[in-house]
Amino acid sequence: MTPGPDPTDRWSQLSSLLDTLLETPLEQRAQVIGQLSHGDPARRAELERLLAEIDREAPLIDAPAAERFGALFDDPTAAGFPEVLAERYRLSREIGRGGMATVYLARDLRHGRDVAVKVVSPMLASALGGDRFLREIEIVANLRHPHIVPLFDSGSAGGSPYYVMPFETGLSLRQRLARDGPLPIDDAVTVLRDVSDALAHAHEHGIVHRDIKPDNVMLSGRHAMVTDFGVAKAIVAGSTEARLAPTDPNASVEARAEADTAPTTTQGVAFGTPAYMAPEQIVGDPQIDHRADIYAVGTLAYELLAGRPPFVGATRDDVLAGHLSRAPAPVTTRRADVPASLAALVMACLAKDPSDRPQTANELVERLERIAGRGRTERAPLERRARWLTATAVLTLIAAAAFLIERQRAAGPNASWSARWALARVERLTDFPGTEVDASISADGQRVAFLADRDSVFDAYVTRVGSEQFTNLTSGKYPQLLNEDVRNVGFSGDGASTWIRVADIAAPASVWLAPSDGGSFRPFLRTAVMAAWSPDGSKLAYHETTPGDPIYVADRDGANPRRIYVAEGGIHSHHLSWSPDGRSVFFTHGVPPNDMDIWRIPVAGGQAERVTRHNSRVGYPVPLDDRTLLYTATASNGTGPWLYSLDLGTGTTQRVITGVEHYISIAASAEVAGQPRRLVATVSNPTVGLWSAPIVTGVAGEDSARRLALPTARSAAPRFARDGTLLYLAARGGADAVWRLAGDRATEVWKAPDGAIDGAVAVSPDASQLCASVRRPERSTLYCVSTTGTGTRPVAQSLDVRGAPSWSPDGQWIAVAARDGPAVHVFKLPVNGGQPVRLVDSVSANPVWSPNGKLIVYSGASRARIVPLKAVTPDGQPYPIPEISVDRLGDSYRFLPSGDKLVVKLGGFRRQDFWSVDLRSGQRRRLTALKPGESLQRFDVSPDGKQILFERVRENSDIALIVLPPR
């Protein structure tokens, strides 16, 4: 409203205007506004704004003051981080505060790790009577167990007891419940097993937890860990001592507090959380033993499965009364799919009389392991588990196949395929922990080969379909078996031999052969990446890694090679596959990983022709017959890869299976009349998350790496802004969007207009703008937008950009790679318009501007997946740097803030670590020792140079067998 000259006038005017609007029925308000504005557009706009304000929420005052401003209740004298601790721990920030303690994130200077320092509030400390608390805590410090969060240190600082624990960035079980609701049965069983295992260990040492609840269980990778062991006991011990020594004048406040909040008896003190307290704990039974924890596990299990604890109520007393005197409703009444054995165990734990419960935590562990039906120790991460081949997935397949039939009929077509897809049967062939990829099937459909990291490195396995026996052919002897861009394993024409691609990351590949039933590998084709035998077994096609990936056709034993195709330098040809008539070879062609399509070339010689038009991550062409081609590809919005079918006659493309699972590879047996046709696919449900590792003087191990707790699934491609916020990519149901994390709050700020964000965003030095390459099948464009998601605009539309851009530190320029002719080159372009300038004339990509503005590091032409790093000054002069070669996948290099060192990602596939490299001396230092098996992709270094934030991908893949009935 326009302020009137007299404030009283102004408020009364506003008041009566609001009265008028509020008294007008909704549908007539527009009309009333029309009348009130008397045709004055400015006045009308004001009134419309006012109308919008009527419906506007007021988050600041929507929750009661004591909740919104809860920090005001905290004891202000507790605010300080004890000075005595400053020598050992450098305070980062306060991460939580409650009546009991203040929790700080700090740096343990002696050991170079992040820790949580919990300082008991002085108010409570005075009530606790000091030393007893610490004595109890120290007993717990001796506990060492994989499922117990260890106590690093404890002591007393300025009269306040404190204790130090590892800083966990994973979700607590409480947060996971809040985010996802009740857990899948398998996950719940896993968590309960881990918690019971931790309790069994503690109970053996005579330690009872007394406060088991979702807040005290942390999810860390694939484990659940119990935290705050012994704290409850220590508090009770401390306060009991204080009570026995009433001469302490400070104890009175707290004693009164206890009298008000915790039902006490003359024998003891009750401490715990009402929803999870055992009856004997509530009445303060001094004889309380480990079976109180078993009761708490029952309440925890109940909540994990049913989404709520067994007893809830409006008041604390209601809840406590439930534990004391009411029978809990059977958990199956709240969740029907809880298996009977599990439900029985949960209800037994909740028995009122301790002697009616399972008597030891070990018994719980055993029963839970039986329920899980497996004794193996390796498990998929709890955060998200691959569980793709459920009945639903099979149904999806059948439904999708039915859809395909309809489409094919409409397209005029190949009725036999439709009928066969409709009757397809899908089975899971492998159930290994970890990743299984790149499945091949022999022409006779009897054998399947694939790579798996079951034994920590990737090995080649062969199985006979139906045998459930797997032979590890390589047993760790060949370290670099997996290259995600090519086919790495397969069968000879007769299936008697299995081939693998043998390569060191820096050496050319060769193809080796071994008997499929086991035996040693021997070199077969010295310069080939893969081999594909023709359908009649008489000929062999393979490609090399020399520039242009030349394709050869040779005799079945590799003799008499004849080159049939070579692309320009920088263009790759992978995934060779013969047409059923043996006359042509299909292959993927382009710039891996994301600029690929399927091409075909006649074996007898002639022109290669492009057959698909995705220009995305396309792989594994599999001709099912002379007109149907199956393959994997990512969609134009960046999702997938999915399985597609192309009708070569009509050019019609469709997605074959419409589940959420990714199809990473596909292969098929030969068609034999009267026989079922077998296909094998690698199906995955990947876990993608952001992790941080500290940059310390030593090497940061896996135990110091932490997963960031973010509200988004599949968080990737981190970029720090200088204002301390973090920008990253995450998908919610579809294509990636840009998210912004400020403090603890993540919000989606921008989604590409159409198409997928390529690489990562770049943030302007003043943190106000971001830009990103947006991929489309035809042409990719650079967009800039504010970091709050407003003002989207394309920049330098003449450039067909590739990958992540990089902002100059003065904010005036953006460096980005773009396709220019057949190859990709690095350009710089003025942010405020003007012509792009080509900075590098040779093949170049992934520019990263140094923080001091003096140079731009980029990657040169790749060989296999290896790219050399080079540098150029902003005016295009070559700038000498030491020799560094890195993997092409994801970001491989970022600057440390000083600008004289890079953090680079080195190592083989899924065995990568971060190193720093001094750009003057070339000196390298290893920064991390992370566990292998997961792929590290895009990353960034924090503006203070103290941590690396990286995207970690775990495929969670399995091999599926798809059986189509005989023709």
Residues interacting with other proteins, by CB under 8 A?
A: 1, 3, 7-8, 11-12, 14-15, 18-19, 22, 50, 53-54, 56, 58-61, 64-74, 76, 79, 94, 96-103, 118, 121, 123-124, 215, 253-254, 256-258, 260-262, 273, 315, 743, 745
Q: How far apart are CA 398 and CA 403, in angstroms?
A: 9
Give me the residues paired with residue 818 across strands. Answer: 801, 825
Three-state secondary-structure class, residue 685:
coil
Smaller CB distance to other proteins: residue 74 or 204? 74
Locus of tokens 């990657």 = 859
Smaller CB distance to other proteins: residue 61 or 336? 61
Smaller CB distance to other proteins: residue 127 or 292? 127
The tokens for 677 are 């046709």
User: Closest separation between CB of residue 768 and other proteins, Å?
Assistant: 19
Q: How far apart are CA 724 and CA 781, in angstroms?
A: 28
Smaller CB distance to other proteins: residue 19 or 356? 19
Residue 597, phi then psi, degrees to nearest 5 = -150, 170
Q: How far apart are CA 601 and CA 617, in angstroms?
A: 20
The tokens for 275 are 């929803």
* Side-chain half-sphere CA neighbours of 753 within 13 A: 16
Smaller CB distance to other proteins: residue 11 or 416? 11
Smaller CB distance to other proteins: residue 316 or 967? 316
**Nearby residues of 764 by Cβ (< 8 Å), 6 or more positions away:** 770, 771, 807, 811, 831
Give the CA distances from residue 171 to residues 197, 570, 911, in Å, rounded to whole numbers and listed in that order: 20, 44, 26
User: Closest separation between CB of residue 274 and other proteins, Å?
Assistant: 10
User: Closest separation between CB of residue 227 and other proteins, Å?
Assistant: 11
DSSP class of 702: G
User: Closest separation between CB of residue 259 and other proteins, Å?
Assistant: 8
The tokens for 481 are 């078996």
Q: Which of the residues 108, 114, 194, 211 is marked catalytic? A: 211
Length of the chain equals 967
User: Closest separation between CB of residue 26 and other proteins, Å?
Assistant: 12
User: Closest separation between CB of residue 100 and other proteins, Å?
Assistant: 6
The tokens for 27 are 């549908």
Q: Are 133 and 154 in contact (CB under 8 A)?
A: no
The tokens for 212 are 């088991």
Cis amide bond preceding 381, omega within 30? no
Smaller CB distance to other proteins: residue 1 or 415? 1
Smaller CB distance to other proteins: residue 53 or 431? 53
**Nearby residues of 153 by Cβ (< 8 Å), 6 or more positions away:** 88, 163, 164
Smaller CB distance to other proteins: residue 215 or 369? 215
User: Closest separation between CB of residue 354 and other proteins, Å?
Assistant: 24
Smaller CB distance to other proteins: residue 99 or 605? 99
Starting at the edge strand that comes first in sequence, how are the strands of the sheet with 837-838 ordered? Answer: 800-807, 813-820, 823-830, 837-838
Q: How far apart are CA 213 and CA 206, in angstroms?
A: 20
Annotate 498-558 with three-state secondary structure. EEEEECCCCCCCEEEEEECCCCCCEEEECCEEEEEECCCCCEEEEEECCCCCCEEEEECCC
The tokens for 595 are 């600029």
Smaller CB distance to other proteins: residue 37 or 446? 37
**Nearby residues of 894 by Cβ (< 8 Å), 6 or more positions away:** 848, 902, 903, 939, 940, 941
Smaller CB distance to other proteins: residue 38 or 56? 56
Q: How far apart are CA 725 and CA 295, in angstroms?
A: 43
Catalytic residue check, 211 = yes
User: Closest separation between CB of residue 86 and other proteins, Å?
Assistant: 20
Q: Are 818 and 827 in contact (CB under 8 A)?
A: yes
Locus of tokens 């953090």 = 903
The tokens for 639 are 């999702």
The one-letter code for the residue type at 582 is: G
User: Closest separation between CB of residue 239 and other proteins, Å?
Assistant: 10
Q: How far apart are CA 496 and CA 491, in angstroms?
A: 7
User: Closest separation between CB of residue 61 and other proteins, Å?
Assistant: 5
Tell me whether residue 542 is exposed, middle or buried, using C-beta atoms within 10 angstroms of its C-beta: 0 to 12, 13 to 18, 19 or more: buried
User: Closest separation between CB of residue 322 and other proteins, Å?
Assistant: 17
Please provide the DSSP assignment of 103-133 as one string: EEEEEETTTTEEEEEEEE-HHHHHHHTTHHH
* Side-chain half-sphere CA neighbours of 143 within 13 A: 32
How distant is the alpha carbon of residue 576 from its chain centre?
Answer: 32
User: Closest separation between CB of residue 120 and other proteins, Å?
Assistant: 11
Q: Which residues have a catalytic role annotated?
A: 211
